[in-house]
Chains A and B, each alone.
Chain A
């Protein structure tokens, strides 16, 4: 061992034939394949791996697992920079780059270590007490200062470009954890033919067996594991998922799990970094083992102080010695086992310190019984341990101190649905109760059963119970023989001695902080936690919460069960948001719906705007046009004077068929659709059941029992859901069916005095004004392609909408644009469409915003008096048809040079712009080149009786003030001559 930290003949998991280079804090180092970053750093002699959160004290590796509070590093992979990576979990790969956190400029000299000398002022609650005044200092001085000094790790400030994945899985039995209990559970259920998922957070199966290497069934642990692994691999009904941490237990047997897929590979290729699984299981066995807890004694945070059980893990798994002389300080029999294991591995155990007076003393190493560790020395690494015993105070030279205050069953998942665990004096820890999560059973150490034999038996039992609950046969299994040593423990949490004793290493919480919290009245565990930040770091207090609870119980004179426990919430380990949201980044979050005309539209240079998930052209710029307004004005003029073409396929289209279709639509719409003649179209309003307008659109009767309903783009989904509800809820036995055909048809509006001329260049059989009157429809064919023709207009101009199966959309759009341009027209976009519908007073969801009734719109006559419909009874309630309500009006600036903004509030002309004189608001506005001025629609209190009145528009948000005259909402061609022509 001289000259290195590797132990010859130990370390079954590393491959000494495959050395790997890596970098830590800019230094090149070497480890082996199979190492974790922590074991590789240990082998390289690195003792200080980070600085603590508040006092910036040097810290070393504390554990060998996911619960690590100290060894948090940043891992850098190209543009990726991942903070708070636990070095104990990060597998080594060639070229790995990692950086320590929370230090500046470096680990060995950290400027903020001065905090450590200021510790009398930095105790619990110091933020609240110190940074109170002067008040104006908070935002400008204190907060930035605290933010720079505190916090763990840093972000790159760039978007996460990594690949993540999400996946779903289903099984009969989910076994969580592959230690002895989990393996027996998986074996029994697997042999019984159940569909089993075995999820293991570690890189391989075995759990604690890998560290302790007990004999099982007369075999070495690794030989037994090899047999189990082979059997599980041969069972087609068992899926083994390593590197997969179950992070949460949720409703309905759903479990979240995070799989590290590519994070351990030098070249992950196409593999994602992580995959977030949602696993749905009929039953689950929680075989998550137990987590060792340290003891709070003065100076227990020096690099070299670690958990006793972690030391054999480093020795046996990765063949690395954390030090050369070890002191073990523990209150339970597992500490003694660890000391024996180290002796057997040739590591000198300088002393075993046991607070129990009856501790055995006949060992191959000195045992101090009824003794305690009262202090340590060694700023950048432990060198001396001070032991208080019956004979006085001894100083023991040691570079590693292994602590064991007992073991906490890893019961977090069982508590995720608000269940509270119960205290068990036998193990001085909390154990799960039955039924905390429906369908989940704890087994083995997670249930407080600690010997290898107990774990094997308990895993088999739990699987048997799960199989029985699923009515599956559960053939008996005989678990192999293994050690069954009793677990003796005497509760011991904190040493009574001078000096700071740490509980939560990650957040720098000491026993004094907890006592101080109790003293200041934060005596409930939830208050203490928030006041001291105990258990609120990335490790969530996995090692420290129970001891903190014990210290609080002591300070308040209560028992631990009386003091309670904090709430465990998912996730069990930190889960990156990127993994949770996999697939939803950027366009994945809002996929694009593209029109069939999309490619040509973009090729024509049209800027696109979003309409829900759709992308629609804003306007089609032409040479010489420098602003959107120039293009928009030209497009409006083009439609009013010649012809324009616009893709309107985004409108929702619902095909309704059946003998009762008309009756159903009568119930759905305010107006009567059953009286519509085949080949005719009617405009309709749909109300919500509360009497407000849901949507508007057209209803075309294509045949006797065949209707085509259109919805607005925005409300297509809502209307479909509503129609399903009305049909399934109120008229399920009527003879009709309907389906959304929105994406099946490409539909284009042709608008303008030359619309019919353009249309007839394409139709195989031309139409005339008389053959297809306004609000009529008919089948058509164009070059043999069968489509539908509707004579409707949303611009007020002579208008048609022609629909073809979507596969012909692009070709038809190209021909229509070409034809329109030949007639002095062209394509138009949403801006022009909006201006033209305002000119005509046609409404959109800017007007029907969910608070508006048919009465408000001036459409009360559309609510048929002769029949019932959804929303009609409620629309007639008092208050919904009052004259004082906001009513749809038109508005024009008194000074023609003024512009109006949508959203601007309206006030009475003579009163100031105050809430008391508020009269309504502008819903839509646009410049009309046809009428040479700004036009707006809006709601004005009692507005229908106020045409001609002048109102004040004061838009404080955009700083625009003007006077406007109220008028009818139809500005242009109120008789509709153009569209009927």
Chain B
């Protein structure tokens, strides 16, 4: 699998560390309550198909939101967070 890094271009997935769904970017307010925090930390869809998740490009330190398909493994693109 190859993943586009906004800094380095398309690279082999061995250069990346996986984190999880892009939900991790949507941090609730500190006082959002236990339910919102539980949802944010633990509850995830497990889609067969398109998904967007977070990968870290170890060589350059860029976090990338990768749009890919869990069925075909096709990678549609990637965006930096900044």
A: residues with CB less than 8 A from B are 168, 250-254, 278, 280, 417, 438, 689-690, 720-721, 724-725, 728-730, 732, 868, 872-874, 877-878
Contacts and interface: CB of A to CB of B under 8 A. Distances in A.
Nearest to A873: B30
A406 to B, nearest CB: 33
Nearest to B36: A873
B63 A725 contact: yes
Given A251-B73, A724-B63, A728-B63, 16 more contacts: A251-B75, A252-B1, A252-B10, A252-B73, A254-B2, A280-B2, A417-B73, A690-B41, A721-B58, A724-B61, A724-B62, A729-B63, A732-B82, A873-B31, A874-B41, A877-B38
A56 B34 CA distance: 69
A721 B30 contact: no
Contact of A725 (B19, B37, B74): B19
Given A721-B56, A873-B30, A878-B34, A729 B25 contact: yes
Interface in B1-56: 1-2, 10, 12, 17, 19, 24-25, 27-28, 30-32, 34, 37-38, 41, 54, 56
A536 to B, nearest CB: 27
Instruction: Name the residue in B10, B31, B75, B81 with the highest tally of chain A Cβ atoms < 10 Å from its Cβ.
Output: B81
A9 to B, nearest CB: 51
A938 B66 CA distance: 42
A278 B12 contact: yes
Instruction: Name the residue in B27, B61, B73 with the highest tally of chain A Cβ atoms < 10 Å from its Cβ.
Output: B61
A755 to B, nearest CB: 36
Instruction: Name the residue in A250, A253, A280, A725 with the highest tally of chain B Cβ atoms < 10 Å from its Cβ.
Output: A725
B77 interface: no
A877 B37 contact: yes
Given A724-B56, A729-B25, A868-B30, A251 B63 contact: no
Query: Top 7 nearest A-B pairs by Cβ distance?
Result: A252-B2, A732-B82, A251-B1, A728-B81, A251-B73, A868-B30, A728-B63
A209 B74 CA distance: 37
A628 B74 CA distance: 56
A512 B14 CA distance: 46
Nearest to A732: B82
A252 B75 contact: yes
Given A252-B75, A254-B12, A728 B1 contact: no
Contact of B81 (A168, A729, A873, A874): A729
Interface of B: 1-2, 10, 12, 17, 19, 24-25, 27-28, 30-32, 34, 37-38, 41, 54, 56, 58, 61-63, 72-75, 80-82
A725 B57 CA distance: 11
Nearest to A170: B10
B38 to A, nearest CB: 8
Contacts of B31: 873
A721 B62 CA distance: 9
23 contacts: A168-B12, A251-B1, A252-B2, A252-B10, A254-B2, A280-B2, A438-B72, A438-B74, A721-B17, A721-B56, A721-B61, A724-B56, A724-B61, A724-B62, A724-B63, A725-B24, A725-B54, A728-B62, A728-B63, A728-B81, A729-B24, A732-B81, A873-B37
A854 to B, nearest CB: 16
Nearest to B25: A729
A729 B55 CA distance: 12
Contacts of A689: 24, 27, 41
Contacts of B24: 689, 725, 729
A874 B25 CA distance: 16
A438 B30 CA distance: 45
A328 B55 CA distance: 59
Contacts of B75: 251-252
A728 B62 CA distance: 8
Contacts of B54: 725
Nearest to B57: A724
Contacts of B12: 168, 254, 278
A663 to B, nearest CB: 16
A916 to B, nearest CB: 29
A877 B34 contact: yes
A730 B40 CA distance: 15
Contacts of A877: 34, 37-38
A874 B34 CA distance: 8
Nearest to A733: B82
Contacts of A252: 1-2, 10, 73, 75
Contacts of B82: 728, 732
A873 B27 CA distance: 11
Contacts of B80: 728
A716 to B, nearest CB: 13
Given A724-B61, A728-B80, A729-B81, A872 B30 contact: yes
Nearest to B75: A252
Nearest to B19: A725
Contacts of B1: 250-252, 254
A720 B56 CA distance: 11
Contact of B61 (A254, A278, A280, A720): A720
B55 to A, nearest CB: 11
A589 to B, nearest CB: 14
A181 B66 CA distance: 37
Contacts of B56: 721, 724-725
Contacts of A438: 72, 74
A420 B56 CA distance: 34
Nearest to A728: B81
A251 B66 CA distance: 15
A874 B24 CA distance: 14
Instruction: Name the residue in B56, B62, B74 with the highest tally of chain A Cβ atoms < 10 Å from its Cβ.
Output: B56
Given A725-B19, A874-B37, A730 B2 contact: no
A280 B10 CA distance: 11
Contacts of B63: 724-725, 728-729
A443 to B, nearest CB: 23
B54 to A, nearest CB: 8
